[in-house]
Amino acid sequence: MCSKKTIIADYKRMTIIAECLNKTDSSIAKTTPVQEKSPVINEDLQKTRKTEDCLNKTVESSIASTSSVQGESSVTNSDSHMIGGILQEHVQPKLSRPSGSGISKKLLWEEDNSDSDFSLRKSTVTHSESSPSTKSTSGGSETVKQEKKSIEAVQNIINKNKPRFYIGIPKSSYFLLDIISKETNISIENLMLCLKKIRLDTKNQELADDFAMTPSNVTNFFFFNVLILASVLRPFIMNIDKELNRKTLPMAFRHKYYNVSCIIDCLEKVQKPSKSVNQALTWSEYKKANTIKYLISCTPNGLVNYISQGFGCRTTDTCLVESCDFVNTLEKGMVVMADRGFKHIEQFLLKSVVQLVRPPSVQSGGKLSKVEAKQTKQIASLRIHVERVIRRLREFNMLRPHACVNTNHVKILDDIITIACALINLQDSLIK
């Protein structure tokens, strides 16, 4: 094993040899032209040839000794730069002369093409090039591990603490995420992202930090997965089963309104369109804002059994019921409970053999009788259940009263409300 000191000593010895060669060549050049028959000159030539052979052998031995350093691990980058500086400073200036003997040419060729110089320079290049790649790969693996840890931390917070608060699903129904993920091929992380966005209306940048992605990817995943989630969760909004409804009827309905099948009301969502025509169509004088109106129906025990598409607030309650397919979900002989504002749909429901129960109307300048006032009070105490359902919908921050909905979300607002209604049906009963 050759050390750093021996390598430097060999190169210094090579410089001394090169200086000797220069002196011998200069002495030969000063002499008279060579004659073939002069014995003195022949003796001088033989001596010079012997010295050339000796010098060649010493140079070859020194080159062979330095070439063994190629596989040495003890030579560092600083050592290689030092050796390269010695070569450039001492050896190459001494060997680069225009006229000289074949010994100097051979030495120059062997020095330029020696394995030791090439191997040292190559090793330094490969070392400098390989170190950033290893750092980049190690850095990339560390970032991936950190992202996985952050996602797992978010999942643990949602799963262990309050999944209903974060994503709107009760802890008893948390297993549905695994089923939905298998059926739709959507990862649980993306499902949590969509549900957390609907439940808490979290900013895209915060979701990007929680789930280790860019805000643009959050937007794309949300728009794409909300449509699939709505189609999967829509069966949880079930049609009314007449017999099952009677078995689960609350005590408050069993005395006079035992035949009530559902309670309807209108849910209004606030948003302001960019176009002036749409602003005029959605302006509400009652709310003093631009709203989108939905018809919602729930059973007496608080389950959502119907949610309509969105309409402009200028649409009347009667026109809304006639325009949507709510009547198609009802069976003959059912009874629907509603507010006073639905008085004009009574004739429309009678065509489908469906009865309407609502508070008695008050004529202008008139007063309600005692019987009518009592009836109004009873119906209002039962209609409160649909208001409680709407209050649960308002727990989703994207559906809060006077919430400013992004105009880009208006086209998927129907799917968002469908998801919220399905998640409400998974929660505990309103009436205990």
The tokens for 78 are 């600083």
Please give the Cα distance from 44 to 21 (Å, whole number): 15
The tokens for 192 are 């949590």
For the ranges 124-128, 180-184, 209-213, the lowest mean pLDDT is seen at 124-128
For the ranges 31-40, 314-323, 387-396, the lowest mean pLDDT is seen at 31-40
Sign for the CA dihedral angle at 202, 205, 208, 214 comes to positive
What was the pLDDT predicted at 104?
Answer: 41
What burial letters (b/e) apply to 33-65, b meaning 16+ CB within 10 Å? eeeeeeeeeeeeeeebeeebeebbeebeebbee
For the ranges 30-39, 151-160, 211-220, 317-326, the lowest mean pLDDT is seen at 30-39
pLDDT of 415 > 90? The answer is yes
What was the pLDDT predicted at 12?
Answer: 67
Averaging pLDDT over each range in 192-206, 358-372, 403-417, which range is the top one? Answer: 192-206
- Which among 79, 70, 63, 61 is positioned nearest to 112, based on CA atoms? 63
Please give the Cα distance from 411 to 288 (Å, whole number): 23
What was the pLDDT predicted at 246?
Answer: 87
Local confidence band at 64 (pLDDT 50, 70, 90 cut-offs): low
Top-confidence residue, 120 or 178: 178
What was the pLDDT predicted at 242?
Answer: 85
What was the pLDDT predicted at 391?
Answer: 92
What was the pLDDT predicted at 76?
Answer: 43
Local confidence band at 193 (pLDDT 50, 70, 90 cut-offs): very high
Q: Which residues contact 101 (CB under 8 A, 6 or more apart)?
A: 21, 25, 28, 52
* Cβ 417 vs Cβ 393: under 8 Å: yes
What was the pLDDT predicted at 280?
Answer: 77
What was the pLDDT predicted at 228?
Answer: 94
pLDDT of 306 > 60? The answer is yes
What was the pLDDT predicted at 133?
Answer: 46
Whole-number average pLDDT of the chain: 74
Local confidence band at 262 (pLDDT 50, 70, 90 cut-offs): very high
Sign for the CA dihedral angle at 198, 203, 205, 206 comes to negative
pLDDT of 130 > 50? The answer is no
pTM across the whole model:
0.64
pLDDT of 275 > 80? The answer is no
Local confidence band at 264 (pLDDT 50, 70, 90 cut-offs): very high
Top-confidence residue, 95 or 85: 85
Counting every residue, how long is the chain? 432
What was the pLDDT predicted at 6?
Answer: 65
